Amino acid sequence: IIGAGGHGKVCAEIAELNGYKEIVFLDNDINKTTCLGYPIKGNNKDVEKFISKGYDVFVAIGNNKIRKDISENINQLVTLIHPQSVISNTCTIEKGTVIMPNVVINSSCKIGKGVIINTAATIDHDCTISDYVHISPGAHLGGTCYIGEKAWIGLGSSVINNIEIEKDAIIGAGSVIIRKVEKGMKYVGNPAKMIGGGGN
């Protein structure tokens, strides 16, 4: 697991539930030696050494851009799905994605690479979640929404059906999205309004 922070801890616990018996972390913070009782055995650049030994790899970095930059060069990425999530068997999920507990994903959704779908988020039918998106805890998407690459959907926010959120946009916590969200912009409030650049 690349990234020995809070997100890495949660991903490690899901990896355990997925049957992994041996877990090691890589992290660029030289002051860290363990995470959740598991050893930190190097920095991010050491990943090839572990790949050559047959290890699976997961990138547990919350920042969408950094997660993309690290993941793009790794072919051995795995997907971690918490057993207490509910996912339609008509959905597709790409590698490097994590799905947290109590998530619900309904029929015919497409989930891209390196996506975080966090605790108790819900995604209704026919949604497309592009690569390296973060859907925060308790966020809810109506049916047939499109979420662009590296967008961040904030804690407890709601997106009504048939909405497009363009790449690199940020939706503030608790916001309600009722119209299209422009590329790279930040929206907050109920109903949400643009307040400036997303900075993602």
Q: Which residues belong to the active site?
A: 125
Give the residue ranges of DSSP H helices in the chain: 6-17, 47-52, 64-71
φ, ψ (nearest 5 deg) of residue 14? -70, -35
Helix (H) or strand (E) holding 60, with range, is: none
